[in-house]
Structure 1
């Protein structure tokens, strides 16, 4: 990551913690006032505890409601901008449009509470509508906050219902600010930053369009190796500093993996992880995960595997432990590095369980092929070991000539 990007990230994180501190203080004061208000000072302790628990539950419900409505905002304003529905995910619950219609699936992505994926309209002079789609979530949060703010005045003072409405107001404003203000926070750009980058950078807009089309085709079961070749090009060095454009290089490496061009994929992934660019967070973890797999089915060197298993890499893999590519690599590691068939069998069962509800059938097919490659390597190694033992046995038993 460049120093410029790092400065943006630090600024975004500072604002995030500042806003969250204000929210925490506001919600704390609200809870205290809700407990004291509307009841006598000598309220029984048990009743106070019940009310505190109820308020915390209502706060969590208000948060979930805003997450759902935030993604619904992207959907509504995306449809108004000419986009078509592709997928809607809240936590690990996902509704996706495939060739059979809209189906329920399960998928979780570390660091995200929800996601609305849509099929974009065609590019016109290299542009497409991006403002309403990207700002739609923040707009919806503000709408809900405004409605809840109006209802506050008709709710009894000190009641949990009034507290719930105030939670909706506070969280709505906060989420609108955190997503609407153009910031880079932690691993990725927020919606506001994406909108601004897309408006001023035609290349970012083109890549964003390609990424959305890849998601659309993947939902229909098409593998990345069968998608248009011209979509998959590694951006230039300067473009790779952009947080929207940089993930395209990760998709190129993913296509090479799907084509089973492992040496080329590993060379590209190694370069992407070593150079300064806009690839961060989950994307870096997926690159590292694939590099471990390539090493396992290749030379399988213990020292190389240890070097690839950095603390950060292991942390991301733990956070994405139900993701198919992570399970595939864990399976190959148990089978080829640890020589632990029982553990490998357990991991394979977890893989099959996750595959049953995974939203992208083409990825399931591709991952099963990679698992088969690891299994075939075990068979080859066992055959080689048997042949070596047979040759050794013949050599020891053979008569010594010349005596």
Structure 2
């Protein structure tokens, strides 16, 4: 669903981000009401215990999600509300992020969207995960155009900055940088510095994601030098293409997967 249009640079954000908190509180309140109604029935002790646990869980989730919190491990809705309230730049980034995601679900590729959407002003705080996501989307725009060097610069700028970014974003960026290295210079020292045990575990855990298929394929060809494994990854990816719900992203990633296969064919790597 597309977000509402900006009005004087402002995007409605409060109720969207309060949704989780409201649901958790609602669950707790309903559980309390059920508990009061069934308290006199001793044979419903299991139900009472369940309602009590549900009440505590609901309040706990509402508090932990509603009180602003941010670390390199996670960020909650309370933090988003606070940062959106403070900054019009974050509000615009938030709008662009939601609109881009909605259009990609509908089948639009990010490379078909205006590049200007993803340009952040110089004063933008990249430690804010919403702004950081826009910088990544800028890199993704270049990536969709197969302009990997420009995409690499966007990703490295974010990684090499002094700001703290979410661990999941950092790992995603490292995955992309590893892919760029595998389909370009293939420098052993760079590959070794990127392809750590931690990143290997992350790639394995996220192997079902659409953007991991071309990376796993490239790793199988260059690092593992296992063409049979690479062909299985390639075939399996195409067999599951329709299972990826973000159609625009899927089209982009499968084009890159095909480009990767042709790149290795042209390099005669697949003939070895």
Pairwise same-fold verdict (TM > 0.5): yes
Q: Residues 4-403 of structure 1: matches in 2 within 5 Å?
A: 86=1, 119-155=2-38, 156-157=41-42, 159-236=45-122, 239-382=125-268
Q: Which has the higher strand share?
A: 1
Normalization by structure 1: what TM-score? 0.63
Is the Cα–Cα contact under 8 Å of residues 235 and 246 in structure 1 kept in the other structure? no
Is the Cα–Cα contact under 8 Å of residues 124 and 131 in structure 2 kept in the other structure? no
Deviates more, 1:199-208 or 1:350-359: 350-359
Deviations 1:204-254 (A, max 9, x none): 001000000101110111100000121011453652122221111111111
SS in 2 for 1:213: helix
SS in 1 for 2:130: coil
Q: Which runs of 5+ in 2 are unaligned?
A: none
SS in 1 for 2:142: helix
Is the Cα–Cα contact under 8 Å of residues 72 and 165 in structure 2 kept in the other structure? no
The structure with the larger Rg is: 1
Is the Cα–Cα contact under 8 Å of residues 210 and 253 in structure 2 kept in the other structure? yes
Q: Which has the higher helix share?
A: 2
Q: Which runs of 5+ in 1 are unaligned?
A: 1-85, 87-118, 387-403
Deviations 1:97-130 (A, max 9, x none): xxxxxxxxxxxxxxxxxxxxxx221111211221
Is the Cα–Cα contact under 8 Å of residues 336 and 374 in structure 1 kept in the other structure? no
1 CA distance for matches of 2:224 and 2:197? Answer: 19
Q: Alpha-carbon deviation of 1:385? A: 8.6
Is the Cα–Cα contact under 8 Å of residues 295 and 305 in structure 1 kept in the other structure? yes
2 CA distance for matches of 1:385 and 1:357? Answer: 31
**Measured at CA, do residues 246 and 150 of structure 1 come closer, stay the same or move farther in structure 2, by a change above 3 Å?**
same
Give runs of ≥4 in structure 1 deviating > 4 Å: 383-386
Q: Alpha-carbon deviation of 1:152? A: 1.0
Aligned residues: 269
**Measured at CA, do residues 237 and 301 of structure 1 come closer, stay the same or move farther in structure 2, by a change above 3 Å?**
farther
